[in-house]
Amino acid sequence: MRDAAIQASYLIASILFVLGMRGMTRPDKARRGMQLAAVGMLFAIIGTLVNSAIVDYRWIVGGLILGTVIGYPMGTRVPMTAMPQRIALSLTLSALAATLVGIAEYYTEIAAGTVPSHAQMAALGFEIMLGSITVGGTIVAAGKLQEWLPSKPVTFAGQKILNGALFAFIIALLAFTISAPGASWAFYTMIASALLFGVLLVLPIGGADMPVVVALLNSYSGLASCATGFAIGNVILIISGSLDGASGLILSILMSKAMNRSFTNVLFGAFGATDTNAAAKTASGLTVRSVSVEDAAIQLAYAQLVIIIPGYGMAVAQAQHQVRELSELIEKRGGEVKFAVHPVAGRMPGHMNVLLAEANVPYDKLFDMDEINGEFDRADVALVIGANDVVNPAARNDASSPIYGMPILNADHAKSIIVLKRGMSAGFAGIENELFYDPKTSMLFGDAKASLTGLVAEVKNV
């Protein structure tokens, strides 16, 4: 009877999770969907708490209280601009939980003098390998995103060989523990090596490649919870783990497509390592035209269609509110404003959308690359705010460029282009951007927030 009740609670939870995920396909339904999922979570927790295997509630209550105390500010206090590192950190926590459960499971079997079956060991092994890699990788990713660690790629000689060898070593240990589940030395060595591998995997990744990495680690962590479900024979873990894993997988595929990297290339962690010294076009002999705030404001004020292209620079300057203010002013004067969001703009999938939504930009003004690219020909001004590689025409026409083949926003098709940029430094990828030297382009140098504040004031005066 009790078992039936537990299973029923898991069934209800699974249905509510799936409905919650389904809600995410519609912005107006999403919130209600996630509230359903939260109710589902409650069902699953209550169902588990009546499990007859649980005999001592002291540690459970303590853990639930402590977790709530830690989690509540993580939900309410974290600003939207810190979302990428917040997501990375939550991946750490979910992978950590899966890993710890796996270790506890293994230790209990060994301490009781029994040896896990090969099948159970396979599940445990995968769980802990994926979990440990995710923990190591997401900690480094969060550190880089928070800029506690250098966000530039950390590279050294022989890095790829070392990573490859370490990965082979982990796989060998995994195979060995599955064939000899009693060998705890191999099991614990595998955990340590997988943690180290996670760290080494993400160290050479630069900021601009973070969306792919975060999505990929998301799918690893989902698969780790899935494997936990197999290891302890719990169906709801398998279901939610698959949802999580599928979401991470889809996002990594989308991200790698948007960067023109093959998915296998991404899967084996070879991303961020394409920095061969391909001779990109140099800037010699070309001049940039810089523009004053006043002139840029006049251009914007009289434009019929302005397409705004936000990039990581907008996030760094936290200029999303000024962007919204400017777009409202242009609209008040009768112009039309659209936002063009490249899939890998920013540091995580959907980064720009969240920031603009925070600033109250209606989401029907935000457009995907495919939707908006045809409209640039009609645009009077393409306003590029702290974006670089995603508008670099070299991706289209310079086969020697590291970003060649990457789909980009057709900012260069607009009648004129205004680029808000801090200075003339090359973009993240270290590539010159010929868009900046286009005769149609004018550069407005300075901090994005300050420039936008100036533009808002000037457009008001026009």
Partner 1 sequence: MSVLELYVFVLAAFLGYMIISRVPSLLHTPLMAATNAIAGISLVGSLIAAGSARNHVATILGFLAVVAATSNIVGGFIITDRMLKMFQRGKPAPGASGPATGSSSTKS
- Both tokens of 347, joined, read 């540091």
Closer Cβ to partner 1, 96 or 431, answer by number: 96
CB of 292 to partner 1, least distance (A): 33
- Cβ count within 10 A of residue 430: 13
Closer Cβ to partner 1, 52 or 461, answer by number: 52
CB of 39 to partner 1, least distance (A): 10
How far apart are alpha carbons 344 and 355 in whole angstroms? 14
Per-residue x/- track, 243-282, partner 1 (CB under 8 A): xxxxxxxxx--x----------------------------
Q: How far is CA 177 from CA 101, 110, 128, in A?
A: 17, 13, 12
DSSP class of 220: H
CB of 27 to partner 1, least distance (A): 5
Q: What amino acid is encoded at 195 in this protein?
A: L
Residues 426-455 that bind partner 1 (CB under 8 A): none
Spatial strand order in the sheet of 381-385: 366-368, 336-341, 305-310, 381-385, 416-421, 441-445
Is 78 near partner 1 (CB under 8 A)?
yes
Closer Cβ to partner 1, 26 or 152, answer by number: 26
- Cβ count within 10 A of residue 171: 12
Task: Classify the C-alpha dihedral 458-351-153-97 as positive or negative.
Answer: positive
Is 240 near partner 1 (CB under 8 A)?
yes
The residues facing 420 across adjacent strands are 385, 444
**Can you tell me which of 149, 257, 350, 445 binds partner 1, judged by CB under 8 A?**
350
Is 231 near partner 1 (CB under 8 A)?
yes
Closer Cβ to partner 1, 217 or 306, answer by number: 217
Closer Cβ to partner 1, 98 or 395, answer by number: 98
Is 425 near partner 1 (CB under 8 A)?
no
Is 100 near partner 1 (CB under 8 A)?
yes
Name the nearest CA neighbour of 132 among 95, 87, 79: 95
Name the nearest CA neighbour of 92 among 42, 58, 151, 138: 138
CB of 67 to partner 1, least distance (A): 2
Q: Which among 389, 398, 412, 438 is annotated as catalytic?
A: 389
**Can you tell me which of 145, 212, 337, 366 binds partner 1, judged by CB under 8 A?**
366
**Can you tell me which of 147, 275, 331, 368 binds partner 1, judged by CB under 8 A?**
368
Total residues at interface with partner 1 (CB under 8 A):
117
CB of 327 to partner 1, least distance (A): 13
The residues facing 247 across adjacent strands are none
Instruction: Tell me phi and psi for residue 58, to 5 degrees.
Output: -65, -50
The beta-strand segments (E) located in 268-331 are 305-310
Residues 36-75 that bind partner 1 (CB under 8 A): 37-38, 41, 44-45, 48-49, 51, 53-57, 59-60, 62-64, 66-68, 70-75
Residues 114-173 that bind partner 1 (CB under 8 A): 119-120, 122-123
Closer Cβ to partner 1, 245 or 386, answer by number: 245
389 a catalytic residue:
yes
Helices 159-179 and 118-145, packing angle to 10 deg = 150
DSSP string, 7-42: HHHHHHHHHHHHHHHHHTTSHHHHHHHHHHHHHHHH
Is 236 near partner 1 (CB under 8 A)?
yes
Closer Cβ to partner 1, 364 or 425, answer by number: 364
For the annotated catalytic residues, the residue numbers are 389
